[in-house]
Structure 1
Amino acid sequence: MIEVYYTEDDEIIGKSVKEYLEQHNCKVTLCESIADTRKALLNHLPAVVLLDWNMPDGHGSELCCWIRERWKALPIIYLTVRGDSHDIVMGFQNGADDYVVKPFDLAVLYSRILALLRRTENIADTKLFCDDLMLDKEKTAVYDQQKEIIVSQPEYRILLALMENKGKTITRSQLLEQVWDHSGNYVNDNTLTVAMKRLREKLGNPACLKTIRSFGYRMEDTK
């Protein structure tokens, strides 16, 4: 099933697109504002984002740029009445992968979604976000509001495991296995406690890093 987020404030168009796509193996979440879309994306990434340009709380171009700063490979398709060449060029410059002008044929839209997903299915995002924290897997680096935070390898692996499973609780035993199991060094439960304490201090004790008492840890957005 293809998961779709559709940012659209026109109830009739939104309902029409949602009904058609859900008849064709899609799960569609309608977002009536840019704020709703941002909140949804920070909680969970879909397969593709459909984006109107004119929204009640801003322009789709702003949202497109915001998405592209965080997820290089997340597919984005504009669905908008703005069809002159200047707007189309701007849409692609903002980071869109495709641009569809209203009115459009629903069958053609679905075909465009499938074509786009075929081109991007093997591309993996290299950046993970939680509140102001960003982990760059390509650079093996951690940032807080673009300022790099120097962490040890175990601390990085702890944060990677938690951010890759954002919203889920990871047990202490799971972290011990994922972070140290193949290191060849003797570790015990206290090793994780010390590493987590140091990591929290380096990150400034962020609210998004939760301790689940006597069980494990969880990363979740708080902003």
Structure 2
Amino acid sequence: MYILVVEDDKTIAAGLEYSLQQEGYNTCLCETIKETKKALQEDTFNLCIFDLALPDGSGYELCKVAKEKHNLPVIFLTACDDEVNVVMGLDMGADDYITKPFRIRELISRINSIMRRYKNGVDCKSIIKIGSIRINTMEAKVYKNGEDIMLTALEYRLLLIFLNNPKQVLSRNQLLESLWDVAGDFINDNTLTVYIKRLREKLEDEPHNPKIIQTVRGMGYKLGAEYEL
């Protein structure tokens, strides 16, 4: 597996490259947008990790190129952790968003999760349907009965976690780990309960009798409805 890493901080870049190679990944390291665009033209990659703030522009620009011209999965790696930047990254089509400082094991887990999704064909389709719910993954928009549902970045990410693991019961710890890098210390066991409740209120016809996000007592949660691509 060949990963394109774009990071202008030489210390972070060297550490990231070393860690990925220790995990068995091949890497190509770039520092600028110009360098990256050339690499995308000359080589074939399986996944991209883009820093957001680069010397000659923004990682958003690279995300657009990687998605529109090469249909590549993209992870943003950035020091910006406010919700506006998270939503903007998702709107650009990014598959995930991790803030610095980060745990390398968490990044590896995210990479593996994204590659499983692409292998299973979920990200090859831009529209996912669950009953009256329609998710446009290219635009990071969710609709219920044709009407736009306003989800926060964390609510949207939580929904994607369930979509990416359609047959799996997810423990609260698994969900917390997947949400950690966007929310930092503000996401804990109690606030996870709140986000599950809010998501159900927006998606479910009967939030107190959920059909989409179901509770598996003593174990966690699962996607209770089949979805269509």
TM, length-normalised to structure 2: 0.52
Q: Radius of gyration: which is bigger?
A: 1
Corresponding residue for residue 47 of structure 2: 48
Corresponding residue for residue 169 of structure 1: none
Measured at CA, do residues 122 and 42 of structure 1 come closer, stay the same or move farther in structure 2, by a change above 3 Å? farther
| Over 4 Å off, 4+ runs | 122-125
Counterparts of 1:40-189 in structure 2, within 5 Å, are 40-72=39-71, 74-123=72-121
Cα displacement string for residues 42-100 of structure 1 (whole angstroms, at most 9, x for unaligned residues): 1122110000000001011111112222123x110000001100000000111100000
Contact 2:3-2:49 within 8 A present in 1 as well: yes
Question: Unaligned regions of 5+ residues in structure 2, if any?
Answer: 125-229
Counterpart residue identity of residue 67, structure 1 = A
Distance in 1 (alpha carbons) for counterparts of 2:119 and 2:33:
25
Corresponding residue for residue 25 of structure 1: 24
Contact 2:67-2:73 within 8 A present in 1 as well: no
* Percent of matched pairs sharing the same residue: 38
Structure with bigger helix share is 2
Counterpart residue identity of residue 23, structure 2 = H
The SS at the match of 2:45 is coil
The SS at the match of 1:103 is coil
Cα displacement string for residues 10-64 of structure 1 (whole angstroms, at most 9, x for unaligned residues): 0000000110110111011110111111111111221100000000010111111
Counterpart residue identity of residue 42, structure 2 = N
Distance in 1 (alpha carbons) for counterparts of 2:67 and 2:115:
16
Matched, 1:34 2:64: no
Cα displacement string for residues 156-191 of structure 1 (whole angstroms, at most 9, x for unaligned residues): xxxxxxxxxxxxxxxxxxxxxxxxxxxxxxxxxxxx
Distance in 2 (alpha carbons) for counterparts of 1:23 and 1:58:
30
TM, length-normalised to structure 1: 0.53
The SS at the match of 2:94 is coil
Question: Unaligned regions of 5+ residues in structure 1, if any?
Answer: 126-223
Counterpart residue identity of residue 7, structure 2 = E
Contact 2:2-2:46 within 8 A present in 1 as well: yes
Using the TM superposition, give the Cα deviation of residue 122 of structure 1 relative to its aligned residue in structure 2, in angstroms.
4.7
